[in-house]
Amino acid sequence: MSDKIEDLKKRKDKAKLGGGEDKIKVQHEKGKLTARERIELLVDEGSFEEIDMFVKHRATDFGLNKQHYPGDGVVTGFARIDNRPVAIFSQDFTVFGGSLSETHAEKIVKIMNLAMKAGIPVIGLNDSGGARIQEGVVSLGGYADIFLLNTLASGVVPQISVVMGPCAGGAVYSPAITDFIFLVKNTSYMFVTGPNVVKTVTHEEVSFDDLGGAETHATKSGVAHFIFENEIETLLNVRRLMSYLPLNFMDKPVELEFDVHKVLPEQRLNGIVPDNPNKPYDMKQIISLLVDDNDFLEVQPDYAGNIIVGFARIGGISIGIVANQPQVLAGVLDINASVKGARFVRFCDAFNIPLLVLVDVPGFLPGTEQEWNGIIRHGSKLLYAFCEATVPKVTVITRKAYGGAYDVMNSKHVRGDFNFAWPTAEIAVMGPKGAVEIIFKKEISKAENPEDEAEKKLSEYIEKFANPYIAAERGYIDDIILPQDTKIKLINAFTLLKTKVDKNPKKKHGNIPL
């Protein structure tokens, strides 16, 4: 018996070394951790239960029959984060460059299937040279099996991808289908075709990092939701993200204890919106004063900065925030902002995370660039997402809510549950200047002094329309509130809405304008 126990220990120790000590050294020299070290950092201490440690590939061509590494380049299993279960796979670059073989794919598919049955999130740590070249189409089949499961699991359990090395070719589409992508600066890259192919086809010279590094995807493509300086910071932030999420679509996010009596009027909120409606201010300041512990996990902070999305808690309740940012492009909605907002709203709705919407929006961005690239198609995604969302939805209009963007930004009309406005709100078809130029065009041009007439009409318009009272008279706004009281109003609203039930008509699935 003791021989057998020793033998098992030896086998496990060998498997834990992956591609061996030399390869581990190379991995470390690149500033990268091993697949197992990453898991250790990510999960609660000692909670990882590995499965399929002894799986071997079945390939025989190109000398592979003589090269076997137990586990075959991916570590899979189950663990806990903040004492809640997760399924994990972590690709091991020290074994055939983490490339994906038939059996490697089968291991990932196995934990994904179990995660869906158990209703627990899946976290994938990607570090792979792509399809195991020696296995050919069998490897491509393995990828397709994973893509299918990513798609089937979408909206069932949260799926998080942490790309910590190469992820190229068709392999990028697995992370792309998942809910969130984390990248590490300097060591991660994702692209469909690499710099060499790009050079051959388009004659462009581009480095790996410029083409598909973390910063590129965080600022230009919008592929990355989070990027961090190093692997440790990245993994700790995966833990942070998980704290806001439920385990699956039937679960609710964890609610933290909160003493509501401690919420006092926050005077600083009264002074943030400037008197001059054309002056910008930082919506993040408002968010920070509203959320518990000033703690806001912003998603895609460096992409489409005219809309802010992210997670926070308010009164202990996990919420998703969507907010216009007057400081960037005056908070206007453009193509990128609409798509960024829509995807976030749909994630929150899929996983029972209530939405707080902070509105200061002058409308949609005009111009040929926007029109020709399909602002109609893309802007409608945000509208669609808010319309179909059935989670608790609370809106606060801090200043401008003009035109179609008023409707889009979780107005009462698209099932906003509580719609508040600050006294500084201006809810109208368009800004006063533009409106006056259109509706009083004739009077102004015929007047003895057109400039004075325009001024007069402008003040009349501002007096009549640039305020929240007409909307409140109609019940489109439930209450006009003092900025200082916003937090307590929100806590009361989200608390009341905890038992909210709403649904959409029965259908196979909707047809969001993609």
130 near ligand HXC, rule: CB under 6 A? yes
HEC letters along 261-325: HHCCCCHHHHHCCCCCCCCCCCHHHHHHHHCHHHCCEEECCCCCCCEEEEEEEECCEEEEEEEEC
Beta bridge partners of 131: 100
Structure tokens at 224: 């990355």
142 near ligand HXC, rule: CB under 6 A? no
Q: Which of 115, 214, 323, 405 is catalytic?
A: 405
Q: Which of 20, 31, 141, 170 is catalytic?
A: 170
140 near ligand HXC, rule: CB under 6 A? yes
Among 40-48, 76-84, 128-136, 220-228, which window interacts with ligand HXC (CB under 6 A)?
128-136
Residue nearer to ligand HXC on the CB measure, 170 or 367: 170
**162 phi/psi in degrees, rounded to 5:** -120, 105
Among 161-169, 214-222, 334-342, 499-507, which window interacts with ligand HXC (CB under 6 A)?
161-169
From 129, 379, 392, 483, residue interacting with ligand HXC (rule: CB under 6 A): 129
CB of 135 to ligand HXC, least distance (A): 8
132 near ligand HXC, rule: CB under 6 A? yes
Q: Which residues ranging from 281 to 340 are in contact with ligand HXC (CB under 6 A)?
A: none
Among 50-58, 76-84, 132-140, 477-485, which window interacts with ligand HXC (CB under 6 A)?
132-140
Q: Which of 169, 310, 315, 403 is catalytic?
A: 169
Size of the site for ligand HXC (CB under 6 A): 15
Which residue from 193, 330, 150, 258 is spatially nearest to 491, judged by alpha carbons?
Answer: 258
Q: Give yes or no: 170 in active site.
A: yes
CB of 99 to ligand HXC, least distance (A): 3
Q: How many CB atoms lie within 10 A of CB 262?
A: 6
Strands (E), 300-451: 307-314, 317-324, 355-361, 393-402, 418-421, 426-428
386 near ligand HXC, rule: CB under 6 A? no
* Residue 57, SS3 per DSSP: coil
CB of 37 to ligand HXC, least distance (A): 17
Among 131-139, 231-239, 252-260, 348-356, which window interacts with ligand HXC (CB under 6 A)?
131-139
From 20, 136, 141, 170, residue interacting with ligand HXC (rule: CB under 6 A): 170
SS3 content of the chain, % helix, strand, coil (to 5): 45, 20, 35
Structure tokens at 8: 């098992």
Structure tokens at 32: 């990268």
Residue nearer to ligand HXC on the CB measure, 54 or 62: 62
Q: Give yes or no: 169 in active site.
A: yes
CB of 101 to ligand HXC, least distance (A): 8
Q: Which of 119, 155, 316, 404 is catalytic?
A: 404
CB of 171 to ligand HXC, least distance (A): 5
Residue nearer to ligand HXC on the CB measure, 97 or 246: 97
Among 129-137, 314-322, 447-455, 481-489, which window interacts with ligand HXC (CB under 6 A)?
129-137
Q: DSSP character for 504? A: P
- The span from the CA of 214 to the CA of 223, in Å, is 9
The amino acid present at 375, given as its one-letter code, is I
Binding map of ligand HXC across residues 87-106, x = CB under 6 A, - = no contact: ---------xx-x-------
The H or E element containing residue 49 is: strand 49-51
Contact 307, 337 (CB under 8 A): yes
Strands (E), 74-230: 74-81, 84-91, 122-126, 159-163, 166-168, 180-184, 189-191, 226-228
From 131, 342, 397, 490, residue interacting with ligand HXC (rule: CB under 6 A): 131
Cα–Cα–Cα angle for 252, 336, 400, rounded to 5 degrees: 80
From 78, 143, 311, 384, residue interacting with ligand HXC (rule: CB under 6 A): 143
- The span from the CA of 164 to the CA of 182, in Å, is 8
Residue nearer to ligand HXC on the CB measure, 69 or 476: 69
Residue 17, classified by CB atoms within 10 Å of its CB into exposed (0-12), middle (13-18) or buried (19+), is middle
From 71, 121, 158, 166, residue interacting with ligand HXC (rule: CB under 6 A): 166
197 near ligand HXC, rule: CB under 6 A? no
From 77, 121, 124, 169, residue interacting with ligand HXC (rule: CB under 6 A): 169
Which CA distances in Å does 119 have to 52, 80, 96, 114, 122? 20, 14, 32, 8, 10
Q: Which residues bind ligand HXC (CB under 6 A)?
A: 96-97, 99, 129-133, 140, 143, 166, 168-171
Q: What is the set of active-site residues? A: 169-170, 404-405
